Amino acid sequence: MKIRGRRECQDCGTQWSYYDTGDVACPDCESLRSVGVDERTRHTDTPTQLDLTAHKAAIGDVEGIPRELVKDLKSELRGYLRKRGFINEGQLRPPTDTYLVARELLEAVDVYHRTRQPAAADKLYLLKLLKGADVDRRPPAEEVPEILYPARGIAIARTVELFRDDLTEYLDENPNQDARAVSGQLRERAKRIDALQGNVEPSEAEPLVRATRDLVAALEGVTNTSLASISDTLSQQTS
């Protein structure tokens, strides 16, 4: 959606940026009466921090996440993910590690508790996700236990699908045919992983994350990697 993010309070005159605060209330007098003082800009991302400190403390050194704590944890993760988007003040942004870990953890706790006899390595990996989610630390693909392949696969597929939604809006205002071609390839790859319920080798899903980041960097002109080469790489991985 498009918003006027630079706000001026009609009661006290204070100006602030909704892009930075994500709050419609005046930071000085808390009035909800304000007017926009800039042009409408596309914005889908609300600034918010993922804080899992309480969940980490509740779990302590337990190997794995007890069922009775899962509901609150998932609620926290969903709340964070709902607020995050990939267009900030008109600028396209790639998925962060925090976003990806939060989505993987959301999927992983369900997969873990559906498993009859999870191994010690499965429990430790789940705990690693929890400990790393709010500090932007994402385990590498080679560390994902096989029973949790679906969690990482689905997390990546759904992240890419949501990224593509914002990318489509961005490209409507900033046309680029090469970027649209890459977007189509991302869609097909994500759909395939989703159809397999995420159950693919992590090394097969991970290139989609790299592609989203390379695409944003290419559009910003901060990389030597061209959109055409990103497209070629995705094509080679599909064939």
Mind listing the pLDDT tens digit for each residue in 73-90?
Answer: 999 999 999 999 999 999
Going by the DSSP 8-state scheme, the letter that residue 12 receives in this structure is T
Is 218 within 8 Å of 226 (Cβ atoms)?
yes
Is 4 within 8 Å of 36 (Cβ atoms)?
yes
In the chain, what are the domain boundaries?
A: 2-42, 53-238
| Segment 106-160, tens digit of pLDDT | 999 999 988 888 898 999 999 999 999 999 999 999 999 999 999 999 999 999 9
Instruction: Specify the range with the lowest mean pLDDT, choosing from 92-96, 112-116, 170-174, 184-188.
Output: 112-116
Q: Within a 13 Å sphere around the CA of 86, how many CA atoms are in the beta-carbon half?
A: 24
Q: Looking up tokens 């961005």, which residue turns up? A: 170
